[in-house]
Amino acid sequence: MEKLGFDDVINNIDPNSLNEITVAVIDSGVHFAEFNQYYEGRIEEVYDLHYPETTIMTDSNPTEHGTHIAGTIAETTP
């Protein structure tokens, strides 16, 4: 986050001045046990494009790309 400058942005922004946004991660899923250790409650809804009848979108490995991307988004947004 530091190399991208996100820490400066986060430290210098008034969170009350921001509008709520929705971010979609189109990826391999999220390893929720790993993600929730740091960002519990940050994912409000899941939707599987391949199997829309399910809400289970779990990476089998906590180091998979989807978990990493979701964590980066959660880390860099208030």
Summarised one tens digit per residue, pLDDT across range 34-66 is 889 999 988 888 877 777 776 666 766 666 888
- pTM for this prediction: 0.70
pLDDT score of 37: 93
Question: Contact at 8 Å (CB) between 43 and 73?
Answer: no
Distance (Å, whole) CA 40 – CA 74: 10
3-class SS string, 23-72 = CCCCCCCCCHHHHHHHHCCCCCCCCCCCCCCCCCCCCCCCCCHHHHHHHH
Distance in angstroms (rounded) separating the CA atoms of residues 37 and 39: 6
CA–CA dist 69, 24 (Å, integer): 10
